[in-house]
Amino acid sequence: MIIPLPASQPGFWTSTAMIAAIVLTSTTGEVLTAAAMKSIGDLDEIRAHSGLKGAIRAVLTCPLFFAGVAFLALAFFALLLALNHLPVSLVAPASASLTLVTNAIAAKIFLKENVDRRRWASAVLVCVGVYFLAH
Amino acid sequence: MILGLVSLCAPLGDSCLSRGMTMLPAISLAHPATLIAAVFTPWIAMGILLLIGFFASYLTALSWADLTFVLPATGLGNVVVALLSRFWLHEAISLQRWAGIVLITVGVGFVAQGPSLTERPAVEPPVTTDAEQQAIEEQVR
């Protein structure tokens, strides 16, 4: 895909690297957060047992959760950096839709989720839809 | 229910934030204190509260559903924003955006029909029948 960019903007590879940084950090963050929540267990059940405070404590005492949040924060700063140099109409749809697909791949590899044909199809559909909607 | 909260809170929170930030004068990095003061303006405070609500319901959803189940549902938030701006702010929606709305809705409908969690067979200790047990004991003797 060739993205026409005005001369004052960073080149193709720099732009690609900026968007890749957002996608990588946010995918890592999402996968770590999801792994943390799976290791904690069903929050509704924990809340039924030990109340809302117990559920909040269960989340806040999980180191994986903080690792995930740290990467999500990195992704946020990567997004700010990219928005500083590139037009929002490129950064927002590209990062939002690419993240969906990389997350499906990462969830299959690292979380061993059963990503069947139905889920691939919906990840791709939502990805294209988000791109259409935001572009 | 939780997934509805997820897809509603995120776009509403974002639009509150953007509305609040554009109403403020430009903030420079030289005066970080103005950034802290910005947190207490009504639109931004509401945006932050909504985003906290989004994150809490997102975490709850992740605790009982797969990441590949929850994430497409968050895409529905974009549809909510588009429809809100159409019927509340009376913005025109181009054909391409309608196509996007349809694609996201179909995609979310697709994944929502399947199972929400990967079935993981419980690890069971190997079962030995009585006959096998006897054979093992005889070997030991």
Residue of A nearest to B103 (CA): A129
Segment B98-121 shows an average pLDDT of 78
- On the CB side of A38, CA atoms within 13 Å amount to 19
Q: Which alpha helices (H) appear in A41-134, and where do they start and end?
A: 43-60, 63-85, 88-110, 117-134
pLDDT of residue B131: 64
pLDDT of residue A114: 82
Q: Do B67 and A123 touch (CB under 8 A)?
A: no
Instruction: Say whether the ipTM exceeds 0.85.
Output: no
Give the closest-approach CA distance of A100 to chain B in angstroms: 7
Give the closest-approach CA distance of A25 to chain B in angstroms: 16
Distance from the Cα of residue B90 to its chain's centroid: 27
Query: Looking at beta carbons, which residues of chain A come within 8 Å of B79?
Result: 133
In which residue ranges of chain A is pLDDT below 50? Answer: 7
pLDDT of B125 > 50? The answer is: no
Q: Give per-residue pLDDT as tens, B64-92.
A: 888 888 888 887 887 887 887 777 777 77
